[in-house]
Amino acid sequence: MKKLTTTITTNNGTKREISVWLNEETAEKLEKCDVNILHEYILEEYKSRLIERKETRRHQSLNKSLEHGFDVIDKNLDLEDIVFQKIEAERLHKALTELTSEQRQLIEKIYFKEEKQTDIARE
């Protein structure tokens, strides 16, 4: 492995050295290239490794959280939908309690057990 280094200018105007480790063959080929090509290659490789490192850390952090019993909130969930579903479930439960035992059994067979009405009628 061989370390290649280049200098970049950061957003605030300061100079900074960045380095990447490459296999010997790739490093030797790049050292024979134009300085601008070498600079761009090192910069892109550096960015790629930063992204890869960030993703690895994010996944490790998520896995650790789940292992220790922490729930992760799904940002795609809409609070309004959750509340609406809860209200609807409560209304359904209340309506079911007002039915006779026979009516509740029929609803259970049709909607929860997905039995066909023709099969139920034959009983």
What pTM, to 2 d.p., does this model score?
0.43
* pLDDT less than 70: residues of the chain: 57-66, 68-80
pLDDT of residue 100: 92
Q: What is the pLDDT of residue 60?
A: 63
**Residues paired with 9 in a beta bridge:** 15
pLDDT value at position 79?
63
Closest CA to 39 of 58, 55, 17, 24: 17
- pLDDT at residue 119, as a whole number: 86
pLDDT of residue 59: 63
Q: Angle at the Cα of 13 (from 7 to 19), degrees rounded to 5? A: 20
| pLDDT value, residue 3 | 92
